């Protein structure tokens, strides 16, 4: 299959192009598109055949449900059994934006899209290109992140092309994304709303709107013993090719430990990488040092994390080290992704 790549900088001058993209979805094809979180791999959410194609293109197990993307609140009612009060509150506060809600599905949504579940994940993205594309596609676009299964989610078109060229009909290149980590997922089907995946919309922000919110205990723990509630969270996602270790402790000890480790690897001829904050980055001696910005600016770190992991792959780095983060605010999402990328390998110094 030949994959067409189109560049869309703004939605006005490219209306016709986006309509072509929408028509591909309507005919059962697949199109990757930018959102404010990461790039998505879209197909018609109401067409079981399209969802099957998505799993195939990603090489993803088909028990891992997809998120249905909508562009208009009016499109919510037809795909769910009921709209609870909490869903309306969250939609008002955070849609369009990086929040996904789990609700009981209606018969309109095929089980292929929900991985066999009676519930459906729904998100209304804020990215203007995503919005225009979803509208052009008929209103319901099922989309996982546009990476091959097991790789970090793509935050630029370059990495979508690397993973998806030849596997899908079209890629919409809309530059880099804003947030860089996948949306926060909240389950509204249990008695108490529960965060299944942390993201830019934090526990604190959700608590302000809902009064209280539970957090799936597997988010920051090694989930090899307890199954996480979002099926996709059980996979060792976000994984770079090399081995990543998170190092926590006082800054000077962290630097000393990482430098000692990289020295050992250098002697064996193994390439090393570090993700460090600008406060101490100049002190690292690894082959590739990625500066994640100031420790104070966690949003900047979030935006770059997946790119760093992909770059380490491009550079054939065999052993990587990352500083640890606080788990408050967006730090919860950062540590969740770092821990997964590291397969929960954490060293305390
Ligand atoms: O930011 C995002 O959410 C991106 C962009 C493209 O919108 N999408 C994304 O999709 O991250 P994906 O497929 O990579 O992750 C979807 C996650 C998986 O962990 C999946 O198991 C979970 O959502 N999920 C989907 N439907 C669910 C359901 N009905 N119940 C529980 N978890 C569900
Ligand atoms: Mg994904």
Query: For the chain, what is the domain count?
Result: 2
Cα–Cα distance measured from residue 272 to residue 336, given in angstroms and rounded to the nearest whole number: 23
- Nearest in space to 36 (alpha carbons), one of 113, 102, 121, 96: 96
Domain membership of residue 47 (yes or no) is yes
Domain membership of residue 281 (yes or no) is yes
Residues 328 and 247 in one domain: yes
pLDDT of residue 150: 84
Domain membership of residue 14 (yes or no) is yes
Domain membership of residue 339 (yes or no) is yes
104 C-beta closer than 6 A to ligand 1: no
Residues 178 and 270 in one domain: no
In this structure, what CATH number is given to the domain that contains residue 38? 3.90.870.10
Q: pLDDT of 77-123, one tens digit each?
A: 999 999 999 999 999 999 999 999 999 999 999 999 999 999 999 99
Pocket test for ligand 1, best of 79, 105, 171, 182 (most atoms within 8 A of CB): 182
Taking CA atoms, 258 is separated from 55, 97, 231, 277, 325, in Å, by: 39, 37, 34, 13, 16
Residues 72 and 169 in one domain: yes
Number of the ligand closest to the Cα of 151: 2
- Report the separation in Å between the CA atom of 172 and the middle of ligand 2, taken as the mean of its atom positions: 18
Residues 266 and 137 in one domain: no
Listed in sequence order, the residues at least 6 apart from 172 whose beta carbon sits closer than 8 Å to its beta carbon are 6, 8, 18, 21, 31, 32, 33, 34, 129, 133, 157
Residues 179 and 315 in one domain: no
Question: What's the domain range around 322?
Answer: 243-348
Cα–Cα distance measured from residue 31 to residue 157, given in angstroms and rounded to the nearest whole number: 12
Domain membership of residue 238 (yes or no) is no
- Atom 15 of ligand 1, nearest CA residue: 144
pLDDT of residue 61: 82
pLDDT of residue 14: 86
pLDDT of residue 41: 98
121 C-beta closer than 6 A to ligand 1: yes
3 state SS of 214 = strand
Residues 133 and 72 in one domain: yes
Backbone angles phi, psi at 119, to 5 degrees: -115, 160
- Report the separation in Å between the CA atom of 141 and the middle of ligand 2, taken as the mean of its atom positions: 15
- Atom 13 of ligand 1, nearest CA residue: 144
Count of C-beta atoms within a 10 Å radius of residue 88: 12
Tokens of 122: 């729904």
Q: Residue 89: left if φ>0, alpha if ψ -120 to 50, beta else—which one?
A: alpha
Taking CA atoms, 228 is separated from 28, 65, 179, 219, in Å, by: 31, 13, 24, 8
- Atom 20 of ligand 1, nearest CA residue: 232
- Report the separation in Å between the CA atom of 131 and the middle of ligand 1, taken as the mean of its atom positions: 18
Residues 251 and 336 in one domain: yes
- Report the separation in Å between the CA atom of 148 and the middle of ligand 2, taken as the mean of its atom positions: 9
Residues in the chain: 349
Residues 162 and 248 in one domain: no
Question: Ligand 1 atom closest to Cα of 105?
Answer: 29
Domain membership of residue 136 (yes or no) is yes
Residues 207 and 274 in one domain: no
- Report the separation in Å between the CA atom of 123 and the middle of ligand 2, taken as the mean of its atom positions: 14
Residues 252 and 208 in one domain: no
Residues 148 and 292 in one domain: no
Q: pLDDT of 43-86, one tens digit each?
A: 999 999 999 999 999 998 888 899 999 999 999 999 999 999 99
Strands 31-33, 40-44: pairing is antiparallel
End-to-end CA separation in angstroms for the chain = 50
Instruction: Cite the beta strand spans of the chain per DSSP E.
Output: 4-7, 31-33, 40-44, 67-69, 99-104, 119-123, 141-142, 170-173, 184-187, 194-197, 214-215, 243-248, 272-276, 288-291, 319-323, 346-348
pLDDT of residue 207: 98
CA angle 257, 263, 268 (to 5 degrees): 135
Which ranges of the chain have pLDDT less than 70? 223-225, 233-238
pLDDT of residue 222: 76
145 C-beta closer than 6 A to ligand 1: yes
Question: Ligand 1 atom closest to Cα of 100?
Answer: 3
Torsion sign across C-alpha atoms 328, 333, 336, 341: negative
- Report the separation in Å between the CA atom of 183 and the middle of ligand 1, taken as the mean of its atom positions: 8
pLDDT of residue 224: 60
- Atom 22 of ligand 1, nearest CA residue: 230
pLDDT of residue 225: 65
Question: Ligand 1 atom closest to Cα of 41?
Answer: 6
- Report the separation in Å between the CA atom of 66 and the middle of ligand 1, taken as the mean of its atom positions: 5
User: Which residues, by Cβ under 5 Å, contact ligand 2, an ion?
Assistant: 145
- Atom 10 of ligand 1, nearest CA residue: 144
Cα–Cα distance measured from residue 14 to residue 222, given in angstroms and rounded to the nearest whole number: 45
In this structure, what CATH number is given to the domain that contains residue 327? 3.40.50.11030
DSSP codes, 37-78: SS-EEEEETT-HHHHHHHHHHHT--TTSPPEEE-SSGGGTGG
102 C-beta closer than 6 A to ligand 1: yes
Residues 63 and 119 in one domain: yes
């Amino acid at each position: 299959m030949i994959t067409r790549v189109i560049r869309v900088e703004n939605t006005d001058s490219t209306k016709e192009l986006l309509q072509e993209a929408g028509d591909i979805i309507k005919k059962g094809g697949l199109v990757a598109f930018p959102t404010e979180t990461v790039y998505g791999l879209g197909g018609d959410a109401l067409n079981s055949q399209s969802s099957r194609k998505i799993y195939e293109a990603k090489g993803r197990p088909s028990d891992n449900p997809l998120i249905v993307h909508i562009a208009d609140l009016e499109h919510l009612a037809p795909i769910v059994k009921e709209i609870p009060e909490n869903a309306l509150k969250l939609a008002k506060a955070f849609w369009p934006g990086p929040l996904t809600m789990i609700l009981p599905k209606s018969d309109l949504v095929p089980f292929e899209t929900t991985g066999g579940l009676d519930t459906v994940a729904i998100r209304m993205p804020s990215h203007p290109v995503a919005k225009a594309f979803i509208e052009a596609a008929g209103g319901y676009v099922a989309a996982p992140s546009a990476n091959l299964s097991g790789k970090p989610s793509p935050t630029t078109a370059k990495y979508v092309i690397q993973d998806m060229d030849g596997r899908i009909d079209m890629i919409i290149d809309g530059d880099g994304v804003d947030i860089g980590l996948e949306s926060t997922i909240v389950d509204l089907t249990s008695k108490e709303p529960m965060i299944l995946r942390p993201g830019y919309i934090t526990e604190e922000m959700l608590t302000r709107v809902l009064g209280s919110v539970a957090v799936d205990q597997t988010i920051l723990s090694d989930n090899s013993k307890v199954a996480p509630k979002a099926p996709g969270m059980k996979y060792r996602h976000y994984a770079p090719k090399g081995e990543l270790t998170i190092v926590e402790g006082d800054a000077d000890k962290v630097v000393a430990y990482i430098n000692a480790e990289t020295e050992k690897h250098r002697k064996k001829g193994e390439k090393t990488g570090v993700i460090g904050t600008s406060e101490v980055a100049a002190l690292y001696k690894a082959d590739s040092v990625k500066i994640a910005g100031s420790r104070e600016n966690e949003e900047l770190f979030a935006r770059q994390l997946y790119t760093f992991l992909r770059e380490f792959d491009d550079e054939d780095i065999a052993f990587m080290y990352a500083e640890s983060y606080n788990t408050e605010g967006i730090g919860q999402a950062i540590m969740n992704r770092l821990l997964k990328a590291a397969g929960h390998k954490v060293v305390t110094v």
